[in-house]
């Protein structure tokens, strides 16, 4: 799904539209709205990035735990079948 354009209408977009609308009449207020829109979008992006990173780390941890469990099952089944006994001629 990455690479697709997500269009959303949130508070940042509304503030940006207000900033553009007020640009000619109230320049200072327009810049305040623009700054708030920019800060809001940066915060939104950073929270989204953090969530993706946490999901990736959780996936790695889950796969590591699964492989550890699988290795424990294989080791324990080998012990139960007596395969740890010395094999050889003596």
Residues composing the chain: 90
Which token pair is 35? 């700054």
For residue 46, the model assigns a pLDDT of 94
Q: How many domains is the chain partitioned into structurally?
A: 1
Q: Is residue 33 in some structural domain?
A: yes
Residue 47 is assigned to a structural domain of this protein: yes
pLDDT per residue as tens digits for the range 6-22: 777 889 999 999 999 99
- What confidence score (pLDDT) does residue 21 get? 93
Report yes or no on 1 lying in a domain: no
Asked, for residue 34, whether it belongs to a domain, the answer is yes
Instruction: Report how far residue 17's alpha carbon sits from residue 2's, in angstroms, rounded to the nearest whole number.
Output: 27
With bands split at pLDDT 50, 70 and 90, how would you rate the model's confidence at 71? Answer: confident
pLDDT for 27 equals 92
Cα distances from 6 to residues 17, 20, 58, in angstroms, run: 18, 22, 25
Domain coverage including residue 35: 11-80
Residue 66 lies in a domain: yes
Binning pLDDT at 50, 70 and 90, where does residue 61 land?
A: confident
Q: Which helix (H) or strand (E) holds 7?
A: none
Within a domain: 2: no
């Amino acid at each position: 799904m990455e690479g697709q354009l997500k269009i959303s209408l949130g508070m940042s977009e509304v503030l940006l539209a207000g900033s553009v609308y007020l640009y000619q009449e109230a320049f200072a207020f327009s810049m305040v709205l623009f700054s708030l829109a920019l800060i809001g979008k940066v915060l939104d992006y950073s929270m989204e990035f953090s969530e993706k990173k946490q999901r990736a780390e959780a996936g790695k941890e889950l796969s590591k735990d699964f492989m550890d469990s699988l290795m424990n099952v294989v080791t324990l089944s080998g012990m139960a079948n007596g395969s740890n006994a010395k094999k050889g001629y003596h």
